[in-house]
Amino acid sequence: MARLLHRLGRTAHRRWYAFIAAWLVALVAVGFTATAISKPMTDAFSIPGIPSEKAADLQAELFPDSVDAFDQAGITVVVAAPEGHTLAEEPYAGQVGDLVAELADTPQAPAADTILDPVTAADAQEQQMVDAVVEAGGDEGQARENFAALSPLSDDGRIGTITYALDVDQVTDVEPATVEAIKDAVADANTGGLTAEVNGSGLIAQLEGGSSELIGIGVAVVVLLIVFGSVVAAGIPIITALIGLGTGLLGVVGATAFFDIGSSTPILASMIGLAVGIDYALFILARYRSELDHTDDRAEAMGIATGTAGSAVVFAGLTVLIALSALSVVGIPFLTSMGLAAAGTVLIAVLVALTLLPAVLGMLGSKAFGGRVRRYRPQRDEKGRVLNNGVRWARLVGRAPVAAILLVVVGLGALAVPVANLHLAFPTDSTASPETTQRRAADLVTEGFGPGRQGPLVVVVDARDVAEDERGTAFGEVVDWAAGMDGVVNAQVVATNEDGTGAQVMITPATGADEVATEDLLHELRDGQAAIESETGTTTGVTGITAIQADVSEKLADALPVYLAVVIGLAFLLLMLVFRSILVPLTATLGFLLSVLATLGATVLVFQDGMFGIVEGAPLVSFMPIFLIGVVFGLAMDYQVFLVTRIREAHVHGASMREAVVDGFRNSARVVSAAAVIMTSVFAAFMLTDEPIIKSMGFALAVAVLFDAFIVRMVLVPALLYLMGEKAWWLPRWLDRLLPVIDVEGESLDRGHASAQWREEPEPELVG
């Protein structure tokens, strides 16, 4: 491995023009192809085979003209008169009328007669429903009660909804101009005491992370300036990372031609791609500068840097790729696309670091560290070795390794305690930021109609096997069964198909879509399905967006153990190859578990419980734990590989275990710390977005990097290595013979100075 990458680095450095040209051609080609074949992204969080999807398929079979819940671009405008007034009064009735007219003129609006003010719609629909029920011999009182559960006007007449669907085939067809026009119309209606807000699936989120990336890049520039003391050197990792990121994101756009990719995917991919792109370039560039102290041959220094640090980049990247690609194992389409998209950007970041970075350095030659803002003059000990804060820190940990281990375990363990209260759900308008019109609209609906109005469940009833004259009775029994459940405000038949063989029963719960009580109601309905089917001879299924999202959350929770086993198992084998040890990969994995549990605990405190008031408390998005584990495991192994390979490199060249730990920190602690600060900044910058998913993911990833890089890798790992001593590298002989030899430390390269320094007196033993 080291020899192969050594040759690659030398070649790219010497023939820089060919490599740079190849990358520019690749970027243009990928961009042109992606633009030509790309398709709209989707926000459908569905999984084939879950109960709600099966019920949705049954619904489509019985009601062929029904629209998929995720494809309908619904708009709900909520209007409210001041306290003590109603929407039927003037001037509010006139203002609402003007709003309806303006909404009808917005782009992609449906026919004007389908957009009705709530007072007119309520009167007409109630009379229509009552007349139909009475004509069929039903109870007028029950009809009015049923209408109240669906009415666009609140009981007191103060709050109303204007609900319609945009004239598009699917949500992703909604144009930004349409969203802006609707929001402008609603904003204009907020005059004279009338309140107007809007939400619905038609208001597709315009996810833009450009400002977030710029903030992360700005922090990265400052950190790189401190590390290298050179304007040119600080800019190199930024430029190469941006080229890699651009190529990767264009590839994600192009992949929409073949896969369904969520609108959040590019933002998440850019988080990972930008962070690792800068970090990987930083590690190789720092090693290149270090090797220039031992040779005047820049191409050879580049070869050594690529053969050693580049080998670590390859294996660090492989762990990230394993963790992200393994998301496809759980069989959840949208999560698979997120994982593969992020993995693709990581793969390109590795290729850029190994080929484009050496080429850029070859092009710059002696100017690679130009634009000096400060000189690098490290303090050295009596043996001429660099004496920096990494050395001081390693020796400090070495004085009391047991105390360091206990401190880390207790501290991170305490932060992990809130995980016991973890509540997962999908984001809704009710959990959006209070500053958004979507959230304000949801709050008005809850105030006027109750929380269950925004989280209905739909029971699909198939009565094809029931005698024709008994189908109406069967539908009624299903309604009575559903209405008798605890937590149900109303249940009623809202549609029957043309031949009377199928019905849709809408259930309005007493609680919101993201509340545990609603999930309990869903399970209770499912538990009772067999009995009502046996009693009525029908086949039933519970579906709707609320049911689908609850099923997806449950599927994600069930998939987590499988995913952990796959990721940890494969990464353990990979790390065993790298370090030729069983205990080092084991400690790396246990440290990761500590950091990820502490991260989840901190995220629960801040985003679910609302600590510090950064956000209003709400359930965490359902795919947060599994995606966080995938990303954090990969990044955690990055730091493990970069730090411990330098420790092992010193060890294989003759250093004792204690000397090796100190030397590993001497050469890597500064760079790993800089990389962690950059990655943390990139992730933390995404907290500035208004999108709750991205905000919480940015926080969780930033905290995870802080915990893992600065607490686990900088404290726990060296303390454990001190305690284990030479036993850290223990590997059964039979296993040693089976494993292929992969030279990650550059042992096979001609580097006499690496071994010569350890022929001197060893580091003094530190007694603590």
For residue 589, name the pLDDT band (cuts at 50, 70, 90): confident
pLDDT reading at 46 higher than 70: no
Cα(249)–Cα(253) distance, integer angstroms: 6
* R_g of the chain computed on alpha carbons: 31
Q: What is the pTM of this model?
A: 0.77
CB 686 within 8 A of CB 212: yes
Residues 6+ apart with CB under 8 A from 216: 274, 275, 678, 681, 682, 683, 684, 685, 686
Residue 254 is predicted with a pLDDT of 85
Cα(357)–Cα(660) distance, integer angstroms: 29
What is the per-residue pLDDT across 305-361, written as a single tens digit (0 to 9) for each?
898 888 888 888 888 888 888 888 777 777 788 888 888 899 999 999 999 999 999
Phi, psi (5° rounding) for residue 77? -95, 125
Average pLDDT of the residues in 14-25: 93
Query: Up-side HSE of residue 275: CA atoms within 13 Å toward CB?
Result: 34
Average pLDDT, the chain: 85
- Residue 638 burial by CB count (10 A; 0-12/13-18/19+): exposed, middle or buried? buried
Percent of residues, the chain, with pLDDT higher than 90: 36
Q: What is the DSSP string of 528-549?
A: HHHHHHHHHS-EEEEESHHHHH
CB 664 within 8 A of CB 761: no
Beta bridge partners of 165: 74
Beta bridge partners of 196: 79
Of the candidates 281, 295, 389, the one whose C-alpha atom is nearest the C-alpha of residue 710 is 389
Which pairing describes strands 195-199 and 74-80: parallel, antiparallel, or unpaired? Answer: antiparallel
> Edge-to-edge, what's the strand order for the sheet holding 195-199?
159-165, 74-80, 195-199
What is the per-residue pLDDT across 218-237, written as a single tens digit (0 to 9) for each?
888 888 888 888 899 989 99
Whose tokens are 């940990």? That residue is: 397
What is the per-residue pLDDT across 157-183, written as a single tens digit (0 to 9) for each?
999 999 999 988 877 788 889 999 999
Cα 530–chain centre separation: 37
CB 329 within 8 A of CB 285: no
Residue 748 is predicted with a pLDDT of 56
Show the beta-strand stretches assigned E in 670-756: none
Residue 410 is predicted with a pLDDT of 95
Cα(354)–Cα(230) distance, integer angstroms: 22
Cα(652)–Cα(650) distance, integer angstroms: 6
Average pLDDT of the residues in 523-544: 94
Reported for 215-222, long-range contacts at CB under 8 A and 24+ positions apart, including other chains, are 215/681, 215/685, 215/688, 216/274, 216/275, 216/678, 216/681, 216/682, 216/683, 216/684, 216/685, 216/686, 217/242, 217/274, 217/682, 219/677, 219/678, 219/681, 219/682, 219/685, 220/278, 220/678, 220/681, 220/682
- Scanning 38-175, the segments in alpha helix (DSSP H) are 51-62, 92-104, 118-135, 140-150
Cα 95–chain centre separation: 42
Residues 6+ apart with CB under 8 A from 631: 272, 320, 323, 324, 342, 701, 704
Tell me which DSSP letter residue 726 carries: G
What is the per-residue pLDDT across 359-374, written as a single tens digit (0 to 9) for each?
999 999 889 888 887 7
Local structure of 400: helix, strand or coil: coil
Average pLDDT of the residues in 511-517: 87
CB 311 within 8 A of CB 746: yes
Residue 135 is predicted with a pLDDT of 77
Residue 735 is predicted with a pLDDT of 84
Average pLDDT of the residues in 187-191: 92
What is the per-residue pLDDT across 271-280, written as a single tens digit (0 to 9) for each?
788 888 888 9
What is the per-residue pLDDT across 728-760, written as a single tens digit (0 to 9) for each?
888 888 888 887 776 555 555 555 555 455 555
Average pLDDT of the residues in 560-583: 81
Residue 554 is predicted with a pLDDT of 84
Residue 746 is predicted with a pLDDT of 53
Average pLDDT of the residues in 481-494: 92
Q: In the chain, what are the domains?
A: 1-37+210-377 (1.20.1640.10), 45-66+433-558 (3.30.70.600), 74-203 (no CATH), 380-417+580-744 (1.20.1640.10)
What is the per-residue pLDDT across 673-731, written as a single tens digit (0 to 9) for each?
888 888 888 788 878 776 777 788 889 989 998 999 899 999 999 999 999 988 888 88
For residue 383, name the pLDDT band (cuts at 50, 70, 90): low
Residue 350 is predicted with a pLDDT of 93
